[in-house]
């Protein structure tokens, strides 16, 4: 990687092709959430489940450096504001963070001046209904899971819920997350203080 292409410092990888692939692979989930692509191998499914459980734990414990280390250098954390994600080149998303912006997001939360997270939310991420699907690439998998996030902050508790698509690939004997797409069930409604990572 040339230094000026370091995804922590510049965003060359979010290019036309990247967007095109996102739209093709994510916006219509019936393209990939297909029974004939579902992985039956319990060992593989268990490894995927373990990845999501670990991610949930790191988020709940505020270990955001470790959380981000689960992600590929050229990654995306995406909360669409349109069903399936739409085309993010033409419409705003609730969140569309590349590597650099995720690092900025975490930096901001740690300044002590991000008033929406002072004091911080307490969360419990519950991940369930984990299904793994093959893709056209041999070492790349799509994981569909459902989530409930119980969040307590400012004297109130609430539940956020929806389903996630994780695009993961094998890396150094483990996994790395390339894309996490979070589909809130109420993505098109006004939501209070969405300042935690889902």
Partner 1 sequence: MSKLEQPAAPPGTLDEAAPRRNLDVLVQEDRVHRLIYTDPGIFAEEMTKVFGGIWVYLAHESQIPRNDDFVTTRLGLRPIIVVRDSAGGIRALYNRCTHRGTTLCRHERGSAKAFQCPYHGWTYLNSGKLSGVPWPDGYACDFKDAQFNLAQVPRVESYRGFIFGTLNADAPSLAEHLGPVTQPIDEWLDRHPGGRVVFAGANRLKYQGNWKLAYDNSCDGYHVVFSHRSLLEMENRLADESKKGMSFYRSKPDDAPMYCRYFGNGHHFKDKRPNVEQRPGALWEIEGAHPGMEYFENEIRQRLGDKANRALDLAASEPVNINVFPNLLILGNHVQVIEPIAVNETNLVWHGTAVIDEAGELEGAVDAVNALRMRTMESFPNFGEVDDAANFEEIQRGLAAIEDEWVYMHRGMDIPGRIKVDENGVITAPATDEVFMREYIKEWRRIMQSRPALRVRREP
Question: Cα–Cα distance between 77 and 96 in angstroms, integer?
Answer: 6
> How many other C-beta atoms lie within 10 A of the C-beta of residue 173?
5
Smallest distance from partner 1 to CB 138, Å: 28
- Closest CB to partner 1 among residues 139, 155: 155
Smallest distance from partner 1 to CB 62, Å: 16
Smallest distance from partner 1 to CB 111, Å: 4
- Footprint of partner 1 (CB under 8 A): 9-16, 18-19, 76, 81-82, 86, 88-98, 100-101, 104-105, 107-109, 111-116, 154, 188-195
Question: Cα–Cα distance between 185 and 192 in angstroms, integer?
Answer: 14
- Closest CB to partner 1 among residues 113, 173: 113
- Closest CB to partner 1 among residues 150, 193: 193
Rg of the chain in Å (alpha carbons) = 17
Closest among 192, 8, 175, 162 to 97, alpha carbons compared: 8
């Amino acid at each position: 990687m040339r230094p000026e292409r370091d995804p922590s410092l510049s965003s060359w990888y979010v290019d036309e092709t990247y967007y095109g692939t996102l739209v093709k692979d994510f916006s219509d989930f019936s393209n990939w959430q297909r029974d004939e692509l579902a992985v039956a191998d319990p060992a593989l499914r268990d490894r995927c489940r373990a990845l999501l459980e670990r991610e949930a734990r790191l988020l709940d414990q505020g270990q955001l450096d470790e959380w981000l280390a689960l992600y590929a250098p050229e990654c995306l954390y995406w909360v669409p504001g349109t069903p399936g994600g739409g085309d993010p080149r033409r419409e705003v998303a609730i969140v569309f963070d590349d590597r650099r912006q995720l690092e900025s997001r975490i930096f901001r939360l740690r300044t002590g001046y991000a008033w929406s997270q002072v004091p911080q939310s307490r969360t419990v991420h519950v991940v369930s209904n984990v299904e793994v699907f093959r893709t056209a690439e041999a070492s790349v998998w799509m994981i569909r899971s459902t989530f409930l996030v119980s969040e307590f902050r400012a004297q109130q508790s609430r539940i956020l819920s929806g389903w996630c698509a994780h695009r993961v690939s094998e890396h150094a004997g483990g996994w790395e997350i390339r894309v996490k797409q979070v589909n809130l069930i109420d993505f098109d409604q006004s939501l209070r203080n969405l300042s935690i990572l889902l």
